[in-house]
Structure 1
Amino acid sequence: MDAPTVTAARLTGAAHRERLPLLVLGPSLGTSAATLWTGCARAGLTEVFDVLAWDLPGHGYNHSVPEQPFTVADLAAGVLRVVEDVLEQRGELGGHFAYAGDSVGGAVGLQLLLDHPDRLTAAVLLCTGAQIGEPAMWEGRVGQVSVSGTAVMVAGSAERWFAPGFLERSPETGSALLHALAEADDRGYALVCQALAGFDVRQRLAEVTAPVLAVAGVHDVATPPAKLQEIAGGVRDGRYVELADTAHLAPAEQPERVAALIREHVLGEQPAPPTDAVDDGGDDGRYAAGMVVRREVLGDAHVDRATAATNDFTADFQRFITEYAWGGVWTRPGLDRRSRSMITLTALVARGHHEELAMHVRAAITNGLTVAEIREVLLQSAIYCGVPDANSAFRVAQQVLTDLGVDTTDLAPTGGTR
């Protein structure tokens, strides 16, 4: 079959990122790029890499779910297709990149190393294996999810994913990861399980020529340390590291340590020990998370323009809105993005902020609202915000949707004018 659609987010800001080596990050089953890798990215990766993190079909913000089953090799082909797009943007079509992946993301990394040995400069494979689980186990999980949905996996995953005490120490991180699992598309999750059921490259490890760092969590029962030792010992240039107080999601459980290991393995450097930080007026983790969401909702082109236009006068404000609006509110798990878009449209109609309204009509389409739903939001606003405000809003929305090539013939009963 054709490679399944894979979506990806750039975690590094626009400024000078093309000058940095490209690092591609792969997820674990049931997680998303943002929930698994953002903490690790801000812990030392985005300052030295152009970071690209990808989502599995039906996971995170990848809403595409193929009709037919796919293999891990198919997934690897889908990842390479996205990477090629980014390399082309960087003026490096056909170029090289480094890779780090957890669980199924690590399996995809192994497949890339086998299928495209000339493309990867180095790989860090975390909490994974050349073969993961048994086919019967995956078939049983597919059956569970088919009957009860991915929410049925949350309780068991809370036990498998995290080392003892992690959920008490980091409840927000754990909650975000488990929420992403519950929100994963049932069929997308099941298809990835089926791909893993057929994945076994143990007899091919000696074909891997790029340097590989295999990282295990001492408490990982899904892919125990022996799985990573097998990889490190089987490839031609392998090294093994075992992390204490870590189970299956090392990038989220040990973000600083994993970031340091990636830098050391890929760049050949040992990051400087932490020094007393200078207060820059914000939280870097919240800023990094906000930048991910801002790009996913508004698009790279918009954010790149805003970032490129930043100067000494506006820099603090750009950081403020990224950190507090996008990183503080839009990342909260209590509402989905469709709901946040509807609320935002209503507020902008009420205040008459037409430039922002135009931007968020585009964002609403990205977040999955239909033309009919946007129309209903504006009609509702006419009652509670005022007919003149809604009339102007219809006109703004009509123009934006027309520019996007969206059919607007049924947008407003009045055509947006009085």
Structure 2
Amino acid sequence: MTIPQITAVRLGGSPRLPLLVLGPSLGTSARTLWSSTAKHLSGHFEVIAWDLPGHGTNSIVAEPFTMAELAIGVLAMVDDVLAERDAVDTSFVYAGDSVGGAVGLHLLLDAPQRIDSAVVLCTGAKIGEAQAWRDRAATVRASGTPAVLERSASIWFADGFLERDPETGAALLHALQNTDAEGYALVCEAIASHDVRDRLADIQQPVLAIAGREDVPTPPASLEEIADGVKNGHLVVLDGVAHLAPAEQPAEVARLILAHASGEPLVDEPLTVAEVRDAGMKTRREVLGDAHVDRVTASATDFTTEFQELITQYAWGSIWTRPGLDRRSRSLITLTALVARGHHEEFAMHVRAARTNGLTNDEIKELLLQTAIYCGVPDANTAFRIAQEVLAKIDQEQA
């Protein structure tokens, strides 16, 4: 067995947040493919991507490996990341495009207890024909990755994308040109032997399959096969997208990953009051912590219960769950408003929430310095005092 070494690429988010692992496509680097999408997700997750052997930051080219062995290498990389976090929970959310999606299927099959939920994009339970991949490996070994540059440019992007976003397109094609020829060829050979069509029914975790309407290598039917084959699958087809969905529609891909990981609806259907309230309670607990919410709930009386339900439904269910801003941004806004209004008890609570949402002590300090200008020095003075007490207590608890 050959376990290829996989390198981690950190794309943002606090280690205090849940872990999201992102997988690349053949010929791309994780950073060029996923950076734009990661910006929308770093307020909700610590975002870690990975590079294939010979791609991007990963200069180590191994002996021939299978897709299953590649998945084992990804798990080893994740374990290293979790060890740095001193994490008790070793599970994570996974999303991968093309080869990264195929690796995701192997993770779901061979290490199901590690995956909370998975999103597979522009991939397949089997991708193309084995001989075509072996032929491509031979071509690249003989002539290098520039030999496949023109073909890749023609199938990676939907019509008009290179004109709309030439910078992203150029970065991706440059990453392909710089990919090690042997590393590229080895991945081609791993794809040639990849076929888990007869094992899809064994996958129990929720899987979101995202297809590009204009994708040639892995058309919508390929993703539909996955969504229909697993126990709990859902298919979304993106218009105006070919094979590199995270680069072509980063905001929409981020929204879908977040909604899937949170168990929220993937389409804009009206929610019932109960669904809004349930979503609000889930978010309220994630941001403020179970101990706080349990304490507030336990102390509610006949006089205050309806007010607590109002907060859960409208503040947490209707506003904090909206996808337009990440939780870091919402914490910044909330802290500023509470300083301006002098709501000191709420401010202390939301300083702790801001740390949960990934803000650092220095970022909170910068926010308070700016409130001294726009809200007033006396208000900022009080806020600094309260924040210092709360942050010191948090740091002590985490020491």
2:31 matched residue in structure 1: 34
Check whether the contact 2:255–2:323 (CA below 8 A) recurs between aligned residues.
no
TM normalised by structure 2 equals 0.68
1:201 matched residue in structure 2: 196
Check whether the contact 1:129–1:231 (CA below 8 A) recurs between aligned residues.
yes
SS in structure 2 opposite 1:39?
helix
CA distance, structure 2, for counterparts of residue 308 and residue 5 of structure 1: 35
Change in 2 beyond 3 A, CA 1:93/1:181: farther
Residue 61 (structure 1) aligned with residue 57 (structure 2) = yes
Change in 2 beyond 3 A, CA 1:93/1:70: farther
Check whether the contact 1:205–1:234 (CA below 8 A) recurs between aligned residues.
yes
1:322 matched residue in structure 2: none
Please report how far the alpha carbon of residue 2 of structure 1 lies from its aligned counterpart in structure 2 after TM superposition.
3.2
Q: Which of 144, 167, 182 is residue 149 of structure 1 equivalent to?
A: 144
1:128 matched residue in structure 2: 123
Residues 12-411 of structure 1 mapped to structure 2, 5 A cutoff: 12-13=12-13, 17-42=14-39, 44-66=40-62, 68-92=63-87, 95-269=90-264, 272=322, 274=324, 312=365
Please report how far the alpha carbon of residue 128 of structure 1 lies from its aligned counterpart in structure 2 after TM superposition.
0.1
Please report how far the alpha carbon of residue 269 of structure 1 lies from its aligned counterpart in structure 2 after TM superposition.
4.0
SS in structure 1 opposite 2:2?
coil
CA distance, structure 2, for counterparts of residue 53 and residue 273 of structure 1: 22
Please report how far the alpha carbon of residue 315 of structure 1 lies from its aligned counterpart in structure 2 after TM superposition.
11
Which string of whole-angstrom CA distances, capped at 9 and with x for unpartnered residues, describes residues 132-191 of structure 1?
Answer: 011111011012101110011111111100000000000000000000000000000000
SS in structure 1 opposite 2:35?
helix
Change in 2 beyond 3 A, CA 1:311/1:261: closer
1:3 matched residue in structure 2: 3
1:385 matched residue in structure 2: none
CA distance, structure 1, for counterparts of residue 256 and residue 31 of structure 2: 20
CA distance, structure 1, for counterparts of residue 365 and residue 110 of structure 2: 46
CA distance, structure 2, for counterparts of residue 115 and residue 220 of structure 1: 28
Check whether the contact 2:2–2:64 (CA below 8 A) recurs between aligned residues.
no
Change in 2 beyond 3 A, CA 1:315/1:79: farther
Task: Give the partner amino acid of 1:28.
Answer: S
CA distance, structure 2, for counterparts of residue 94 and residue 71 of structure 1: 28
Please report how far the alpha carbon of residue 268 of structure 1 lies from its aligned counterpart in structure 2 after TM superposition.
2.5
CA distance, structure 1, for counterparts of residue 202 and residue 226 of structure 2: 12
Which string of whole-angstrom CA distances, capped at 9 and with x for unpartnered residues, describes residues 363-392 of structure 1?
Answer: xxxxxxxxxxxxxxxxxxxxxxxxxxxxxx
Change in 2 beyond 3 A, CA 1:3/1:152: same
Check whether the contact 1:84–1:93 (CA below 8 A) recurs between aligned residues.
no
Task: Give the partner amino acid of 1:88.
Answer: A
CA distance, structure 2, for counterparts of residue 121 and residue 140 of structure 1: 37
Check whether the contact 2:158–2:241 (CA below 8 A) recurs between aligned residues.
yes
Check whether the contact 2:212–2:241 (CA below 8 A) recurs between aligned residues.
yes
CA distance, structure 2, for counterparts of residue 155 and residue 185 of structure 1: 17
Q: What do you get for the CA RMSD once the two structures are aligned?
A: 2.2
Task: Give the partner amino acid of 1:4.
Answer: P
Task: Give the partner amino acid of 2:229.
Answer: G
Paired residue total: 283
Change in 2 beyond 3 A, CA 1:315/1:28: farther
SS in structure 1 opposite 2:216?
coil
CA distance, structure 2, for counterparts of residue 60 and residue 253 of structure 1: 19
CA distance, structure 2, for counterparts of residue 124 and residue 161 of structure 1: 19
Check whether the contact 1:84–1:94 (CA below 8 A) recurs between aligned residues.
no
CA distance, structure 1, for counterparts of residue 366 and residue 34 of structure 2: 31
Check whether the contact 1:214–1:240 (CA below 8 A) recurs between aligned residues.
yes
Please report how far the alpha carbon of residue 75 of structure 1 lies from its aligned counterpart in structure 2 after TM superposition.
0.4
CA distance, structure 2, for counterparts of residue 33 and residue 109 of structure 1: 15
Task: Give the partner amino acid of 2:38.
Answer: A
Change in 2 beyond 3 A, CA 1:309/1:273: closer
Quick one: percent identity of the two aligned structures? 57
CA distance, structure 1, for counterparts of residue 195 and residue 88 of structure 2: 30
TM normalised by structure 1 equals 0.65
Check whether the contact 1:36–1:251 (CA below 8 A) recurs between aligned residues.
yes
CA distance, structure 1, for counterparts of residue 55 and residue 48 of structure 2: 16
Please report how far the alpha carbon of residue 64 of structure 1 lies from its aligned counterpart in structure 2 after TM superposition.
0.3
SS in structure 2 opposite 1:19?
coil
Change in 2 beyond 3 A, CA 1:187/1:94: farther
Change in 2 beyond 3 A, CA 1:313/1:154: same
